[in-house]
């Protein structure tokens, strides 16, 4: 099921389950926005890395973990 289909299904139950439908619509929209921002960041990163060496896996892991703790 894709984003549009999920929204259609949630619209079908909004009269009988308004709180549940509203909660899931809000949650899915937040996740969709985060995913879209991640795609934008990935595209920017692809454009930026064309002229630099590939970092080691350990360096990438360190950066990821550091960002998760901040």
CB atoms within 10 A of CB 18: 10
pLDDT in tens, 33-51: 999 999 999 999 899 888 8
- Distance from C-alpha of 50 to C-alpha of 46, rounded to nearest angstrom: 7
pLDDT 10s digits, 7-34? 999 999 999 999 999 999 999 999 999 9
Q: How far apart are CA 8 and CA 10, in angstroms?
A: 5
């Amino acid at each position: 099921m894709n984003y549009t289909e999920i929204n259609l299904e949630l619209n079908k139950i909004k009269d009988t389950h308004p709180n549940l439908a509203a909660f899931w619509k809000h949650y899915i929209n937040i996740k969709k926005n985060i995913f879209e921002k991640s795609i934008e960041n990935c595209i920017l990163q692809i454009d930026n890395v064309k002229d630099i060496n590939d970092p080691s896996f350990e360096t990438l892991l360190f950066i990821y973990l550091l960002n998760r703790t901040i």
